[in-house]
Amino acid sequence: MKQNLHDQIIQLDYSEEMRTSFRDYAMSVIVSRAIPDVRDGLKPVQRRILYSMIELGLDPTKPHRKSARIVGDTMGKYHPHGDSSIYDALVHMSKDYTLMVPLVDGHGNFGSIDGDGAAAMRYTEARLSPGAMALLDHLEKGLIDFNPNFDGSEKEPVVLPAMIPNLLINGTTGIAVGMATNIPPHNPDEVIDGVIAYMDDPDITTQGLMEYIPAPDFPTGGTIINVDEMEQIYETGEGKIRIRAKAEIENGENGRKNIVITEIPYTIAGNKSKLVESLSNLIKDKVFEEIHDVRDESSKEGIRIVIEVKRDRDIENLLNGLYKKTVLEDTYSVNLLAIKDQQPVVFSLKGLISEFVDFQVEIYTKEYNYLLDKAQKRLEIVDGLIKATDVIDLIIEVLRGSSSIKQAKACLMEGNTSDIKFKSEASKKEAATFCFTERQADAILSMQLSKLIGLEILKLHDEKDSLNDSIREYEKILGSTKELYKIIKKRLLEYKKIFHSHRKTMLINAKSKDYVEEVKIEDIYVLIDRFGYVKSLDTTSYSRVLEDNLKEFNYIIQMKNTDRLCCFTAEGNMFQIKAENIPKCKMKDRGSLIQTLCKLDKEEVILYTSFEQLFESQLLFITRKGFIKQVSGAEFETNRSQISATKLEADDAVVGITLLSAGDILANNLKVIILTDKGLSLGFPLSEVPELKKNSRGVKAIKLDKDDKVCYGSAVSPTTETFVYNNKEYSAKKIRIRKRADKGQKAKL
């Protein structure tokens, strides 16, 4: 009968299926890919690589084997996730600038600290390092559990019997779904001392542990500058470590000083060439004017990046700037996340050490149970062999009278003498008393006749005594945690000698100092043509310019390279442009439109001046509606690029701004002259113009007819003969001085 198709359809809630599937995927990534086990400190791919290598017999005493073979075995047997991920993990485990104790001994091009990639796996070779053997030793003793591989054809270890705290020594990094781990490497000597201190006092505090493990120790050296925060980081398992490159000051050529970088932050290990490139770009981008040159003189002896500094510069200030603006000072984010019982857990420093010690107790207990069992089984055999030598003649008679090994073994174990031919009834009766164990019977049946020599029999008695001593020792160790700890400590101290390393990373407390931008103050000339193009020339270039070539420029302002160019417009605004932002050009270069350097847009500029000159001067404002005022230049001190320079009515505009120096004002003989659209003129002493605030409207300067407006206004000295307005020349001498706010007279050409 045909089954209804509708009955085969399973109805599922889409959101529930997505939730379940994504949760399963996330846990698979967390547990089986990205996060290490807290016991051996390895991710699954790393563990599988090391196990494949030990299966291939690649211990440190054996020749190197092609990496492609190792990757192939690992992928085919245990890790079917692609060869590139396996080879990347293999390469990572060989890097001495990433790991404190490398786990793979690589032969060939495995990359460099500069950022060079490793050669293809077909060109490189590898074998296990002594560090890996500390994780793999005693694997044959059944100390750890094995699980079926992905297809059930092989068995792989759930965890390696790590005898050193690999997770703390080598650290790790990994990004999973919704979480990440970032455990920094530590000094092997310090970590082992810390583990022993914990075993001596399980109630030790984080502060107590930090007497042995004060901070991470990075393979690239450098300096940790926030040591005071380490206790909080170790207590919570999270935080940020600030690492700074190690720099030395050396004398260079031509009176220069050099900053020499000899150690770089761990965060840029494997990217040194990018660091050098970024430092070189500081010169191109003119971020630090003090740097003359950057070069990489690194070699096999170590890192040496030379930053040549220009003469007579504050080198300490520059170094502060480099720390602040480059990765010569960087942040390492700590997250002590690892897998425990198939669950991700954030540990404290003490928590990681506690888990390692618990794991050591577990595997050492299994090891000594294994050794005890092995010794007891051997003692059983030795006892049997000693007992057999006492009745060897009867045993030989049993063997000669037996028709099969099975018949002889039954006699030895159970005293079964049926169908066995004996020389006498007494022999048969004595043979019936045999009660050897199966293990003893097998040993007797396989015993060589040479064992009957007197010296060999003596050796059996010595071996029995030795086995009894060993069994008593094993039972003592297994019966006391204190004795077990002694064994663990002893072996840890042996590994400490093997992996001994002096601390590479310095520890200090330092605050990042502000960088004070160091600029060499010099005179420049700012040139602005009638189209609004602006550029700057240094004094040397300006001095070589012919006078005829300067006629095309409407404005030439001399100022300092640290000053600002101030632009006052008819709309009553002031715009500022930093001198450093004005393009430095050659005379033949056009420069940049001034509108691209500030928000000037299409406003008509009446006055250009430097802020330094403005600050020490007075400004005279005259508007279309005939208002006038003096304003102190100090009123315009601001960091803003645009401000309102004066208050204007809705339909008013500035027609004249005159810059008055302190000398002009002290002379007290300047005359204000004003022209109107109807050709009227008025002159009066500058002393009649009051000094007001910039946000005031001013006072009346001239009495205007209803349909008349001011078109020109300025202040002139008594010696001024004429002035030009709208391409017409007017006589300044013929404008008689009258009172301010009087009606004007006809202006004379």
Burial class (CB in 10 A: 0-12, 13-18, 19+), 500: exposed
Distance, CA of 495 to CA of 134 (rounded, Å): 8
DSSP at 33: I
Q: Report the SS3 class of residue 515.
A: coil
Q: Are 744 and 672 in contact (CB under 8 A)?
A: no
**Which among 565, 198, 547 is positioned nearest to 348, based on CA atoms?**
198
Residue type for position 27: M
Distance, CA of 33 to CA of 27 (rounded, Å): 9
**Which among 323, 446, 305, 444 is positioned nearest to 385, based on CA atoms?**
444
Query: Per residue in 70-102, is it b (16+ CB within 10 Å) or e — as a string?
Result: bbebbbebbbebeeeebbebbbbbbbebbbbbb
Q: Are 241 and 171 in contact (CB under 8 A)?
A: no
Verify whether residue 123 is a known catalytic residue. yes
Q: To which residue do tokens 């006629």 refer?
A: 551
Structure tokens at 199: 């075993």
Q: Is 369 left (phi over 0), alpha (psi -120 to 50) or beta?
A: alpha
Q: Are 224 and 507 in contact (CB under 8 A)?
A: yes
Q: Are 671 and 718 in contact (CB under 8 A)?
A: yes
CA 3 to the chain's CA centroid? 62
The catalytically annotated residue of 123, 323, 555, 608 is 123
Q: Are 128 and 22 in contact (CB under 8 A)?
A: no
Q: Are 741 and 702 in contact (CB under 8 A)?
A: yes
Residue type for position 228: D
Cα-trace Rg, the chain: 46
Burial class (CB in 10 A: 0-12, 13-18, 19+), 113: buried
Using CA atoms of 391, 395, 400, 403 in order, give the dihedral in degrees to the nearest 10.
160
Q: To which residue do tokens 């997770």 refer?
A: 167
| Strand blocks (E) in 118-160 | 125-128, 146-148, 155-157
Beta-carbon contacts of 574 under 8 Å, excluding residues fewer than 6 positions away, are: 566, 567, 568, 636, 642, 643, 644, 645
By annotation, the residues acting in catalysis are 123
